[in-house]
Chain A
Amino acid sequence: EDQVTQSPEALRLQEGESSSLNCSYTVSGLRGLFWYRQDPGKGPEFLFTLYSAGEEKEKERLKATLTKKESFLHITAPKPEDSATYLCAVHLSGSARQLTFGSGTQLTVLP
């Protein structure tokens, strides 16, 4: 069965304290892995797509990496405005662009 697991469920950081969020997957035929940010009461907002092992993408303080089994979202010197829930999703080959989501990591950055 295809599975996407995110860890930790919740993470509290001090401002400037770098860390990483993990998304591990057990799927067959990965077509792409997506990271989204979700603020309370809002819809998910697209951050990155990764397609193959070894690929990396960056945006401001965020950097996403991908291996054959997992993806990491590295947050460097976070600020309070980075507080949000970060969602990982996989797009499977032959799935007509359907996404399978993990349950998310709730990040809180304290000033």
Chain B
Amino acid sequence: NAGVTQTPKFQVLKTGQSMTLQCAQDMNHEYMSWYRQDPGMGLRLIHYSVGAGITDQGEVPNGYNVSRSTTEDFPLRLLSAAPSQTSVYFCASTTGTGSTDTQYFGPGTRLTVL
């Protein structure tokens, strides 16, 4: 199993540009989420999904859109990039079996908005 994969690893955008961060998992996990990590602030939840066709907002959803058309994929869209969105983005998925709820994280996408 590849686990949780994310592309691209690095991206530089100009203010106002849009892009999609890709996330895929091959563990058949129902629950997936997106976090951003900023220095000194820990990881903060952007959006999450409890299954295909179901998404909801996390702590910092403004400026981001998500969709979940399949169990495997959970892309994050930046509609109009702003410098405040410069961050490292992590996608995660969880077994959600109720026994451990362990979340597995991808390797991250480092985004810079100029």
Contact = CB atoms under 8 A, between A and B. Distances in A.
Interface in A55-111: 87, 89, 91, 96-104
Label chain A's interface by main secondary structure: strand
Given A87-B42, A98-B58, A103-B42, A46 B102 contact: yes
Nearest to A103: B42
Contacts of A32: 101
Interface in B12-62: 31, 33, 35, 40-45, 48, 50, 56, 58
A96 B48 contact: yes
B101 A91 contact: yes
Given A43-B90, A103-B41, A104-B42, A97 B108 contact: no
A96 B50 contact: yes
Interface string A1-44: 00010000000000000000000000000011010100001111
B22 to A, nearest CB: 15
Label chain B's interface by main secondary structure: strand
Contact of B42 (A41, A46, A96, A102): A102
A98 B101 contact: no
A103 B40 contact: yes
Given A43-B108, A96-B50, A98-B58, A49 B45 contact: no
**Interface hub of A45, A49, A97, A103 (most chain B Cβ within 10 A):** A97
A101 B96 CA distance: 18
Contacts of A97: 31, 33, 48, 50, 94, 96, 101, 103
B90 to A, nearest CB: 5
A4 B44 CA distance: 12
A44 B43 contact: yes
B105 A49 contact: no
Contacts of B108: 41-43
Contacts of A43: 4, 90, 92, 105-108
B90 A44 contact: yes
Interface of B: 4, 31, 33, 35, 40-45, 48, 50, 56, 58, 90, 92, 94, 96, 100-108
